[in-house]
């Protein structure tokens, strides 16, 4: 499974990229707004750090302007994935941009039917939002399983399942067990994956024993 970092913070991206765990970046207007920087500039800066896909979302809601904005965003770097909403206009834009060779991330997916439409429109990624479904008492992980089963029935489907709105390490692990291609998570959740109390306890014991031994490596 690939990890995409859901942030527009250059500091967070630079720091966590050093771990080798960051395969791509997803952004949205809300995340970019938090930086206080120019949208186009921040996307360009991220693309200089990350080799993998960097999702940049269009602001238009009609197909023609989505396509125009998509081409402009794609011109920033070869690894930009243009992010469009899962609407009728968004799917028209997805088809046009995909046919032009641009990676497209179809976002705000909340049903398997929508995921099928995204795949048929040529989406590189489809982003089902599991956390938001869970908030409504629905089964977010169940949706991932349903989409994975459907896509697995059709070898010609190349659209990757990008699990979005993942809120916890459990969401990450369960999505991996289902077979999702990618999960996008905020920096705080990625850091949670490193942590376990038994790791901390074991390391403390090892360091105590090492100190008692009086030895050094350097």
How far is Cα 6 from Cα 31, in angstroms, rounded to an integer? 8
**125, 67, 118: which is closest to 96 by C-alpha?**
67
How far is Cα 182 from Cα 4, in angstroms, rounded to an integer? 7
How far is Cα 18 from Cα 8, in angstroms, rounded to an integer? 16
How far is Cα 176 from Cα 216, in angstroms, rounded to an integer? 40
E strands in 27-179: 54-57, 80-85, 103-109, 125-128, 160-163
Task: Determine the distance from the C-alpha atom of residue 100 to the mean position of all C-alpha atoms in its chain, rounded to a whole number.
Answer: 22
DSSP annotation of 123: -
Catalytic hit among 83, 120, 177, 204: 83
95 is catalytic: no
Task: Report the DSSP beta bridge partners of residue 6.
Answer: 26
**Cα-flanking dihedrals φ and ψ of residue 127, to 5°?**
-115, 95
Q: Tokens representing 24?
A: 């791509």
- Active-site positions read 83
């Amino acid at each position: 499974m690939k990890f995409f970092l859901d942030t527009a913070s250059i500091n967070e991206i630079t720091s966590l990229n050093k771990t080798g765990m960051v395969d791509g970046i997803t952004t949205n207007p809300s995340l970019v707004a938090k930086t206080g920087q120019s949208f186009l500039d921040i996307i360009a800066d991220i693309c200089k750090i990350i080799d993998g896909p960097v999702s940049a979302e269009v602001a238009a809601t009609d197909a023609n302007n989505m396509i125009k904005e998509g081409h402009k965003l794609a011109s920033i770097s070869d690894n930009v994935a243009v992010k469009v909403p899962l609407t009728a206009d968004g799917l028209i834009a997805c088809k046009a941009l995909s046919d032009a060779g641009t990676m497209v991330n179809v976002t705000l997916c909340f049903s398997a039917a929508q995921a099928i439409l995204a795949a048929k429109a040529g989406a590189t990624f489809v982003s089902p939002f599991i956390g938001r479904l869970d908030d409504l008492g629905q089964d977010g992980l169940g949706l991932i399983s349903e989409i994975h089963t459907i896509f697995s029935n059709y070898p010609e489907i190349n659209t990757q399942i990008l699990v979005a709105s993942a809120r916890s390490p459990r969401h990450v692990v369960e999505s991996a067990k289902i077979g999702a291609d990618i999960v996008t998570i905020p920096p705080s959740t990625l850091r949670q994956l490193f942590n376990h109390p038994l790791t901390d306890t074991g390391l403390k014991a090892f360091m105590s024993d090492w100190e008692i031994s009086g030895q050094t490596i350097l």
